[in-house]
Amino acid sequence: MTIIIFIAVLSVLVLVHELGHFFAAKKNDIRVNEFGLGFPPKLWGTTKGETEYTLNLLPLGGFVKIFGENGEGDEDPRSFTSKSPGARATVIVAGVVCNLIFAWFLLSLGFMLGMPVNAGSIPEELNASNRKTIIIDVQKDTPAAEASLRRQDQILEFSDNNGVVLDNPSMAQIQDFVKEHRGEEIKIIYRRNGDIATSNIIPSLETKRGKSSLGIAMEEIATVRFPWYQAIWKGFTSTFAMAGAFFSALYGLILGAIKGLVGFDQILGPVGIANATGAAAQFGFAYMLGFAAMLSINLAVVNILPFPALDGGRLIFIFIEKLRGKPLSEKFTQIVHGTGFLILILLMVLITYQDIMKLI
């Protein structure tokens, strides 16, 4: 079920992105040769006007083939290459814009239905409900790792050998309880994928730098609901707040990787995202909406990075062309974007390997 949900979410997000390119190309009178659902091999196709619409075997979003996007047809008035830098930039950035708009829609809908959010960010005047504490990270070589706790486990209860019980504890209660029971065995009851499980764990007497007594990071979430007119505004502000936060986190990640302070094990690839998608689904439809919105925002931010083969990299080439007054050579452009694509594939393979190792 996790794989099915992951494929469905990823397909919708990629399809939304490609629809942005598709409609922007049509709007700027650029010929679209093909719009495909899924990726080849092709199962079925029909041609309407000048565009072939295809249904393909691999259900991972879709693609759009725009005439002239690879430099051909520079003398054809309906080629991507022959259009002005502004028109081409509009087509390129349209995918990112559509992902942000889609995230806005998802978050607005979620806030109308009741969205799980960080409890610490909820104003007192709002009536939050369904408070719960979730594990968001488990550090290696810690009591939590030895007890097989995982990300997205919901903490239901803590208890000690003297009969002291914390039922549905808050983060503050958990931290105080663990501090009082360092070196003593305590029992934790948690929910994982809808199942209830129990583990015995002994908080460390001495903690290493950057590691807690248990070795977990937690988040306390609660459900808030807004009237539709407030939900739309809240969805809008949350979209750009999340985009800004992800930009900042990505910048720190890249800078840390350059300095050798951050490894690839801190980045989620397809396997890690699939696992997180399944975990998000267990918290309900509204939570899943928020998670899908986050992925849509992440897709937009990553695509706008100024790296070859990404939309941001193509925008940089258009900007350089505007400064030079003429385009870069087609051969050079293809080599740079091809190299960038190869690097991205290698990074994806490496990150996927790290994802798999985390699950072993």
pLDDT tens, residue by residue, 100-117: 999 999 999 999 988 877
Where residue 154 falls among pLDDT bands split at 50, 70, 90? Answer: confident
Catalytic residues: 18
- State the CB neighbour count (10 A cutoff) for residue 266: 12
DSSP state of 213: S
Q: Rounded to 5 degrees, what are φ and ψ at 22? A: -60, -55
Residue 52 φ/ψ region, left for φ over 0, alpha for ψ in the -120 to 50 degree band, beta for the rest: beta
| CATH class of domain segment(s) 129-224 | mainly beta
Looking at residue 311, its amino acid is: D
Q: Which of 116-120, 167-171, 353-357 has the lowest mean pLDDT?
A: 353-357
Q: Which of 293, 300, 295 is nearest to 108 (CA)?
A: 293
Residue whose token pair is 């009851």: 189
Average pLDDT over residues 254-280: 59
Asked if 60 and 66 touch (Cβ cutoff 8 Å), the reply is: no
Q: State the pLDDT at residue 270.
A: 54
Q: Is residue 20 predicted with pLDDT exceeding 90?
A: yes
Q: What is the mean pLDDT of the chain?
A: 82
Q: Is residue 126 predicted with pLDDT exceeding 90?
A: no
Q: State the pLDDT at residue 51.
A: 92
Q: Is residue 97 predicted with pLDDT exceeding 60?
A: yes
Query: Long-range contacts made by residues 6-11, C-beta under 8 angstroms, separation at least 24?
Result: 6/273, 6/274, 6/277, 6/278, 7/59, 7/60, 9/277, 9/288, 9/291, 9/292, 9/295, 10/60, 10/61, 10/273, 10/295, 11/38, 11/59, 11/60, 11/61, 11/62
**What percentage of the chain exceeds 90 in pLDDT?**
20
List every span in the chain annotated with CATH 2.30.42.10.
Answer: 129-224
Residue of 261 and 194 predicted with greater confidence: 194
Q: Is residue 170 predicted with pLDDT exceeding 90?
A: no
Asked if 214 and 144 touch (Cβ cutoff 8 Å), the reply is: yes
Asked if 28 and 90 touch (Cβ cutoff 8 Å), the reply is: yes
Tokens of 238: 């949350």
